[in-house]
Structure 1
Amino acid sequence: MEPTRDITMDAPEIERILSYEAGPEVEEFANALDDCLAPPLEPADRRERILDLPRRYYESALRRLAQVRPRMVRDGAQDDVDMDADEVDAATSNPASAELIKRLEREAQTWDLLRRLLPLRYSSSDANQMDFDQSTKTPRKDLLRDFLATDPSARERQAVIQWLQTNAASGPDIDELARELQQNADRGDIIAHGWLHTRSSIKLRKSVTAWPHLLDRQSPAVATSFLNADGSPLVTQLDPDAATRQGRKLEPQDEYFERAIWLGCFEHLRRGSNLETIREWCQERTEMWRAISTSAVLLSTDDNQQLPITNPASLALWRRMCFSLARSGGCDDYERAVYGVLSGDIASVEKVALTWDDFLFANYNALLRTQLDTYVLGLCPASVAAGMTQSFPSFDAVQYHGDPETVDKRLIRSLESNPQIRDEAHEPSKALQASLISKEIGNYLYEQGLVISSSADHHESKLYRSEPNGLDLNKDRFFQTTQHYGLRIVAHVYLLITLLDKLSSRDDSLAPLSSPPDCRRSQENLIAGYAHYLRLAQLQELIPLYCSILEEPRSYEVLSYNLIPEKDTKQRLMQLRLIKKAGIDVFKFVKTQAWLMYDDLGPPKSTFPAKESFSIIAPGPPTSRRGRPIKPDFFGEDETQIEATHENLIRSIEWLLLVQETWPNVFSMGTKVYKYFLRNLHLNAARQLMRRVSFADVLQAATEDDSAEAGWFEDTPEFWAKHLDRRGILDVTPDQVASDARKFRELEALVRALDSLETVASFSELTNDRESVKSREFWASIGEEVKNSKEMMQPLLNNWLLVGIEEGDEELRDLRKAYLPETILAYISSLHFAGTGLSRDNLLECMELAAIIAERSSDLSTSFMDAGRMKELVEAFAAVSKALAISTGEKRATGASSKKLREMGWSRDLWSVKH
């Protein structure tokens, strides 16, 4: 009575799966990674492909961003009327959409930063040498390029600055930022022609006084009488320097206009606009002199823009003049910030900074311009350089920040402690970007891995196998396990750097010797967690690809725990093909998986519950009618319910059976599992193992290529040696396989016998139902099951487990002592029930069993004596004898005595009592 298998996932697991979503980017990322790992490539080609991954991920993020963000006018080439007002309102009023847009922007920024930094940090030595040779042999035409070729730290700072400029360029349009100031300027849509209101006031004064010359020459009293609308002294001239030179004000409307112009200039510098863009913007406003002011050393995102080498001394002097204006000139913070950017000042730029990016830009711009200034002074004659540094001050950001080796780390720490941007600095994406810039990515990924593992529930704890380390982490800085997009990002950051480290043959940049002992394992938790996410998102086919990044044995661990839930054989075979394709050893995987699942049972215990608790027959003396009835459902009421660890253990044996070369391990591991289940009375689990991984299945796997032997078996080492040789299996001896196979088969036989006896007990229970008793089919089913139980019991009646015990396996001795007497007594009970309910032949067979046990050569009587249960055995046979004596004949289908019984010398009539 074998039910269909129905081992299903528990409800919480189903709910968690339904809550996981995977967009197309998940497969996009995996496909891009596969392009780097799958083909056989030269190291240089593989490095090139890996370095190209951030670009592909960056473009993927931009595509997703374009799909969710309304089309915004960035370049002014389109009219505002082209925008869908409803679309913009929906995006700004829907918090979910706004948060998604912000999240995608941060992701795009992260990949953009990586695509800029990684080529610099992992460029080949040949490429570095080529760049150096090119810079020394070719005529010097571009001062900035020559400078960058000599200083790796400067190249990296330029990359960060360009990244910050690109981030800023994705913000609102510059005209939009200045819109409020433009409105306060009270000039409508006029953006050109300078200070309109101040010019009108000067013209009016001249007209009223009929004075054709400069107003400040009219009379000394003009200084006190010529005021603007706010009552402040008004400038008398209209040149750009007038307000600073005269110490006077503009009309209030023109001050707004002036501030809007300087805001625009600052934004262009902040966004890395090239000179042509700035020139066009200023020309529209008839303010070309401002574009000229910025043109000497413009650090833009345009890599093709050159800085011709003309007069290095003039460049050094220009920087110092800009610094003077940043510190003591100008009428507006944005005007001073513009000159602060050009001179490499920090204070004036930080005064208008609003975000983490702005503050980092102020400091990195200052560091790079200080380095460039040092290079420029080196090109000047020594006397000129000395005179300039003594006469004109400049800001030395390198000296200001201190030790060059740790400046990046200390700068990031200072930004994190800045109350103005502290919350932003602790946002996970920004913290990740900061760790990349400061070269602390290894520690960040380590702590991120700790956060992932510490948040794991009981379903996932085995996947990480991490112990709490007591670190007090600010979890706001890290992605949580529910933020699947963040897990995808940090996992791919980890694998990018790991792959590049392997190709570069350099020291482990993520886990150097100074790292905590569990650093690497914690970082690998990111891949483990991402693989877990892929499983719950129903993308199991991607898991082997990511596990191939991990080192052994972690790769096998992550594979094992993420693939063990798979129940479909076809899917398992597909996974094995993918594992092999990913370069992972399939044999090691299935073996490791089985051991991991076995280890999850916990440390071995000295207790042996089956010794005291295995009892499947009712207490009390046997009766002549029923003997001692077998307890119904002694396996358990619901045969599909077994513990998760037991289910995983059985599944691991099923995985072992799928690999042709690991069938010997099915015997060895299956034997250990049977012992554990039987020792601890996990009978339901043992039955599941018996049904799902039978000895016949393993035998078929071993003899698959020889159909003639598939149904034939010989319990000899020579039989197994032939099949080991055929598969080329060398890690186990034929003697060991023979021993493991024998134990596996004999323990399976016990479970089969118990399963059959439980079914007979269930039928016996049903005989109390009058309707069932009347059914011919009911008694026919009982007859079939009794016949089956007789067959199942035969292995237990002849030296069961004795060979293994003689080989020194003490656990088998304990199992034999615990199970054999009780099982035989239950078998006697089943024959007793069948004899009184079906046919007296069953009672005769029971007496034959008594004769077998009584033989001198029988091993069964010894078992009963060792267990102290000989009295129970005698009483059971006595009850059968009594039932046979008082039985009047056939209870069911009558006929002649069976041929087998006659051959053994038994006859029903011999035991009949005549009245």
Structure 2
Amino acid sequence: MATGHPQRTYGPPRRAPSRRQDSWEQVNSHNASFDGYQSPSSLGTSVFGIASLLQLPPEMSDSSSYQVDRAAEFVDAMEVEVYNGLQEDPHDHAHFHLVRYKAAIGLLEGLKDIADEVVQNTEQSNPDINNSLTKSWRGRIKGVNRQSHRSSLGFEATTATETMEEPSKKELRKAQAELSTWELLTGLLNVRKPAPLPDGGDVNDSIQGFLIGRGVAHEFTPDAELWERFLLENTSAREKKAVLEWLEKCAGRESSSIDAIIAELAESAGTDQGTWTSGFLNTRERIKGEKRRRGIDAPLDSATLRTSENTEPLVTQLDPDAVVRQGRSLEKSDALQDRALWLTCFAMLRRGMRWQEIKEWCEERGEGWRAASFGAACDDQQSRSGLAGPQAGMLWRRMCLAAARHIGMDQYQRAVYGILAGDIKSVDPVCASFDDLLFVRYNALLLRSYEDYLHQLYPERFNNLVAQKFPALASTISPEDLEADTTDYIYRIINHPSALGDASDPIKAIQASLIANDFHILITHVGLIIAERANQGDSSTRLMPPLPSYPYDKRYQCLAKDIDAIRIMIHIYAIYEYVGYPFPLPFDFEAMEYVIIAYIDYLRSQRKLEAIPIYAMLLSVETRERTLAIILVDIEDYSEQERLVTLLESIKVNLPRVVIQQYLYSASLIGFLNEDWHPLPRYNLLEDTKDARWPGFRIRREFGPGQLSFEEDRMVRSVEWYLYVNSDWEETFYGLSYAMRVFLLSGMFNGALQLVKDLPYKVVSLKKSPQVVGKAVDIFDPKLEVRQMEQPQQQQLRRSTRASSRQMNDEPTFSEAPLAEKDQFELDLLRSHARPYFEMQKLCLALEQLAYWREFEDMIIKSPDFTPEHRKELTKLLEDLTTSIDPILHPILTHSPDPANAHHTTAIRHLYLPPMLLAYLSARIFAASYLGAEVLVPALELANVVAEPENKGLRDAFLKTGYMPELVRALASASRVLIRLNQTVAVEGGKKAKRGKGKSRFWVGESVDIWDPTKLIT
């Protein structure tokens, strides 16, 4: 039902009027920041298809939703802390950086707490979740059972990131991985970007001052202090140590527990864990039995003794190196137990367990010799390696390397000694993931750099004798590993066959980029991937306009469709920004921002509206305004709109700029900003007809309000925000006029009419006028032209003390006086700004009445009889039409406050006024057939109206558009119809019927009598 005509049932339905309110602030420029947003030839998909284009999940899991909400709170707290902190001393540069750094670290700690909560909650809801083995460790244990202890075959790698059968396990592993990521970032920032000193000094200078204070190392300096000095003097070593400690912590958290591994190993070996404290029982019994059979007490020396399976020679002694020294085997179950013990020792070293713990574990099982061989018996792990013995453990590390390179040992035994020696070759065969490979290499690099440090700085204390006697340590690391760039080195590792399962893991890719110190590259590539997907094929999204076709690495594709990875990336980006981490140039910051935009749009799709302004603050000003403009238009709920406006104002977002971007963006969708755009050449309001009831044409059937297109709907909703934000009078009406110009010049009557219905001029005037005139008024109300003044005698009476009580109670009388010159000027200025929208609204309402008229014409034609009810309705509709058309019979759309838009105003006048007046003529000619000849007199007067001097704009519109011949023919047709109707009356009645008394003679006494054939002068 048409708005304003509740009694009518014809006409298509409208979109329900939106509920609007509140205000705006001034903006200076309109088009400058939107130059790059020309509409594509194919609009393609909706701008809000980002989530589906990136294959993001349609709904968040409960844990993801919790993390999103809590993370937004911490980001908001960071921004508030920075704002408040900077108020203390806004001009202190050092204070500025310190406040931002502390706020960023607060965010980082908050993100760690969130991830830790998710891990703990998942573990509490699934108590046995960590007791089961991961695929990685199940594979290792199976390998222990099927491999010979002398085998040098590589481990068949599986990864801890493989898909778990149970969703709870998968959720736990992902939460653990995220927690590990925040811990990694914490460790790296402590080394790469430590907290700035309050006085602005450099942290490295502070370290050097500390070392100078401690004095120069001498021959009695403890080995542990040498290790400490090495770390303090070498930033790269501190970073590697931090990464190694992180890898150890990750292994302890994300892998299966040691108890679960031991239990599975014991079961696999066919023994009870308790028997592990008694040594190799089965082999001992075989040796004792052979001694009893031969009746000897001396050490057994039998070349013929074989294992129970008779497959290999059995050892005859049980000292730790008997298997290697004799080249013989243990009984099968003992061999399995031995390999299981080595695997467990490897697991403990890989987890970074304290040496004291390893020592106690080994001694509990009667295997103290193993701990002694690790160096755990004499060093309480004050370094990455044992420091006891000659030359800070140099000799001991070479002994470990010799054991690691011994081919006859089990691969896990070799791996254990390889870790202690800093060897890569001996540990690689048991590596099952990127983390394992990285651990081995960083451990080797750290130990190698430590020994180089000792040789270079303390040559008098650490001579080359050991290195000369044991040169093999120099081969633990290849020259390529030593000289490799960190970034290249990390990505060589992740492309290793043992790490292939991690290459497609999004969070692992983020961790690798943090270690490689190339996060800027990762987020840029992800942004490029998002941009490509958002504009793939024939699709185009204005939220993310296409970027130049830069190549990107396909290994990052997994990140672009993982919302948790995207969330992690943008928080890392925020932390880096606030700690002052330098992003190397040149890198595409626009591509980086696309990752944030994708996350913001996903928040919108999940109705996480409060978080949108928070993350928008991470964008550059121009991108922020464009993004908010596009996203906010999609939010139609009244309460959500109000809430967002409040939030945006609280963080000082320039809302006027955002709304400008909204309607400029919508105009770009329509194509209005394209260089090749031109106004519609002709508005097809009329259609030809041969029916004598019309003058050769009538209002077109298809014309009239209908379903809004996507582009029209977006434009209407974009300017509806004017009533929410604190805009001034000029800016509000400029935006509304802009939207109306776009609609009318593009021939989009539906959009223009919907804008009139949602934001009628009078409502806007009442909303915006209080801030300019002090009260809510219709600025075109004629009453504003005068001011009311109390009569002087009334004022005298009211001041008189002799006035009677009756006189005092009388209402004061007023007289009207013209406004003061200043007030009149201000009123004219306000009207000047509002007039284009005011007049275009009248134009749209007149078009709407023409649409109603066409609908009623069709109803009358189809009705078998013209009833009195039809006459009454037709009369009322003609009156409404006349009222709506009247404004365009006077000068209209001849004024534009902005000269740059004057040509658009002229184009609208030429496009609509001539066909509208012709349509009005056709309506009156049609009505005359049912209501009588009198309705034609105003139609015939249109010639005078067009010819009036003040209507030059209307006359020019007819002349320049070629509609003047149609006007002349229509007026002639009206004259013929009038004569015909009078003739019909005369013939049917014998004489002209008397007209009712008091019948109006129109404007200036016109009468149809001059066309009455019964009164013609002969």
Aligned-CA RMSD value:
4.0
1:66-77 to structure 2, matched below 5 A, reads 66-68=120-122, 70-72=126-128
Summarize the Cα distance change of 1:207–1:608 in structure 2 as closer, same or farther, 3 Å threshold: closer
Summarize the Cα distance change of 1:228–1:804 in structure 2 as closer, same or farther, 3 Å threshold: closer
Which of 742, 753, 762 aligns to 1:687? It is: 753
Structure 2 residue aligned with 1:513: 585
Summarize the Cα distance change of 1:750–1:299 in structure 2 as closer, same or farther, 3 Å threshold: farther
Which of 818, 842, 863 aligns to 1:770? It is: 863
Is contact 2:663-2:739 (8 Å) kept?
no
The letter of the residue matching 1:703 is S
Structure 1 residue aligned with 2:574: 495
Tell me, what secondary structure is at the counterpart of 1:618?
strand
Summarize the Cα distance change of 1:381–1:848 in structure 2 as closer, same or farther, 3 Å threshold: closer
Shift in Å, 1:406: 4.3
Structure 2 residue aligned with 1:788: 880
User: Identity rate of aligned residues, in percent?
Assistant: 27
Summarize the Cα distance change of 1:298–1:821 in structure 2 as closer, same or farther, 3 Å threshold: farther
Summarize the Cα distance change of 1:807–1:596 in structure 2 as closer, same or farther, 3 Å threshold: closer
Shift in Å, 1:617: 2.7
The letter of the residue matching 1:711 is D
Shift in Å, 1:691: 2.2
Is contact 2:78-2:104 (8 Å) kept?
yes
Structure 2 residue aligned with 1:433: 511
1:641 and 2:725 matched: no
Structure 2 residue aligned with 1:349: 427
Separation in structure 2 between the aligned mates of residue 669 and residue 881 of structure 1, nearest angstrom: 44
Summarize the Cα distance change of 1:707–1:752 in structure 2 as closer, same or farther, 3 Å threshold: farther
TM-score (norm 2): 0.76
Structure 1 residue aligned with 2:361: 281
Structure 2 residue aligned with 1:198: 283
Is contact 1:175-1:264 (8 Å) kept?
no
Which of 292, 296, 306 aligns to 1:211? It is: 296
Shift in Å, 1:388: 2.0
Summarize the Cα distance change of 1:443–1:903 in structure 2 as closer, same or farther, 3 Å threshold: closer
1:394-405 to structure 2, matched below 5 A, reads 395-396=473-474, 400-402=478-480
Which of 209, 214, 236 aligns to 1:153? It is: 236
Which of 251, 254, 258 aligns to 2:331? It is: 251
Structure 1 residue aligned with 2:114: 60
The letter of the residue matching 1:490 is M
Between 1:305-314 and 1:25-34, the stretch displaced more is 305-314
Summarize the Cα distance change of 1:633–1:713 in structure 2 as closer, same or farther, 3 Å threshold: same
Separation in structure 2 between the aligned mates of residue 404 and residue 231 of structure 1, nearest angstrom: 45
Tell me, what secondary structure is at the counterpart of 2:698?
coil
Shift in Å, 1:821: 1.4
Which of 814, 822, 829 aligns to 2:915? It is: 822
Which of 849, 857, 861 aligns to 1:756? It is: 849
Is contact 1:235-1:243 (8 Å) kept?
yes
Shift in Å, 1:737: 7.1
Structure 1 residue aligned with 2:811: none
Which of 51, 54, 68 aligns to 1:26? It is: 68
Is contact 2:660-2:735 (8 Å) kept?
no
1:30-429 to structure 2, matched below 5 A, reads 30-39=72-81, 40-41=84-85, 43-68=97-122, 70-72=126-128, 94=165, 96-126=167-197, 128-134=204-210, 136-137=212-213, 142-143=224-225, 144-169=227-252, 170-179=254-263, 181-183=265-267, 185-189=269-273, 190-215=275-300, 222-229=301-308, 230=310, 232-295=312-375, 313-328=391-406, 331-377=409-455, 382=460, 384-393=462-471, 395-396=473-474, 400-402=478-480, 406-429=484-507
TM-score (norm 1): 0.84
The letter of the residue matching 2:15 is R
The letter of the residue matching 1:277 is E
1:654-733 to structure 2, matched below 5 A, reads 654-705=720-771, 706=773, 708=775, 710-713=777-780
1:630 and 2:699 matched: yes
Separation in structure 2 between the aligned mates of residue 769 and residue 282 of structure 1, nearest angstrom: 102
Tell me, what secondary structure is at the counterpart of 1:487?
helix
Summarize the Cα distance change of 1:551–1:871 in structure 2 as closer, same or farther, 3 Å threshold: closer
Shift in Å, 1:36: 0.8
Give the gaps of 5 or more residues in structure 2.
Answer: 4-12, 19-44, 87-96, 133-161, 198-202, 216-220, 787-818, 990-994
Shift in Å, 1:446: 0.9
Shift in Å, 1:665: 2.8
Shift in Å, 1:269: 0.3
Structure 2 residue aligned with 1:730: none
Structure 2 residue aligned with 1:80: none
Is contact 1:674-1:686 (8 Å) kept?
yes
1:855-874 Cα distance to aligned partner (Å, 9 max, x none): 45543444434433333223
Shift in Å, 1:453: 1.8
Shift in Å, 1:338: 0.9
Summarize the Cα distance change of 1:896–1:807 in structure 2 as closer, same or farther, 3 Å threshold: farther
Separation in structure 2 between the aligned mates of residue 591 and residue 377 of structure 1, nearest angstrom: 67
Tell me, what secondary structure is at the counterpart of 2:318?
coil
Structure 1 residue aligned with 2:889: 797
1:447-526 to structure 2, matched below 5 A, reads 447-456=525-534, 461-467=541-547, 469=549, 471=551, 473-474=553-554, 477-481=557-561, 483-500=562-579, 504=580, 507=582, 509=583, 512-515=584-587, 519-526=588-595
Tell me, what secondary structure is at the counterpart of 1:328?
coil
Is contact 1:897-1:907 (8 Å) kept?
no
The letter of the residue matching 2:341 is I
The letter of the residue matching 1:595 is L
Between 1:304-313 and 1:448-457, the stretch displaced more is 304-313
Structure 2 residue aligned with 1:870: 964
The letter of the residue matching 1:250 is L
Separation in structure 2 between the aligned mates of residue 869 and residue 244 of structure 1, nearest angstrom: 109
The letter of the residue matching 2:624 is S
The letter of the residue matching 2:85 is L
Separation in structure 1 between the aligned mates of residue 481 and residue 785 of structure 2, nearest angstrom: 74
The letter of the residue matching 1:868 is G
Shift in Å, 1:708: 5.0
Is contact 1:609-1:680 (8 Å) kept?
yes
Tell me, what secondary structure is at the counterpart of 2:180?
helix
1:446 and 2:524 matched: yes
Summarize the Cα distance change of 1:718–1:453 in structure 2 as closer, same or farther, 3 Å threshold: farther
Tell me, what secondary structure is at the counterpart of 1:385?
coil
The letter of the residue matching 1:416 is I
Separation in structure 2 between the aligned mates of residue 734 and residue 194 of structure 1, nearest angstrom: 103
Separation in structure 1 between the aligned mates of residue 306 and residue 51 of structure 2, nearest angstrom: 74
Is contact 1:448-1:478 (8 Å) kept?
no
Is contact 1:312-1:379 (8 Å) kept?
no
Tell me, what secondary structure is at the counterpart of 2:703?
coil
Is contact 1:828-1:876 (8 Å) kept?
yes
The letter of the residue matching 1:172 is S
Shift in Å, 1:714: 8.0
Tell me, what secondary structure is at the counterpart of 2:699?
coil
Separation in structure 2 between the aligned mates of residue 856 and residue 806 of structure 1, nearest angstrom: 25
Shift in Å, 1:270: 0.3
Is contact 2:85-2:99 (8 Å) kept?
yes
Separation in structure 1 between the aligned mates of residue 240 and residue 534 of structure 2, nearest angstrom: 38
Shift in Å, 1:760: 1.5
Tell me, what secondary structure is at the counterpart of 1:629?
strand
Is contact 1:58-1:108 (8 Å) kept?
yes
Summarize the Cα distance change of 1:647–1:831 in structure 2 as closer, same or farther, 3 Å threshold: same
Between 1:385-394 and 1:437-446, the stretch displaced more is 385-394
Summarize the Cα distance change of 1:266–1:868 in structure 2 as closer, same or farther, 3 Å threshold: closer
Summarize the Cα distance change of 1:14–1:559 in structure 2 as closer, same or farther, 3 Å threshold: closer
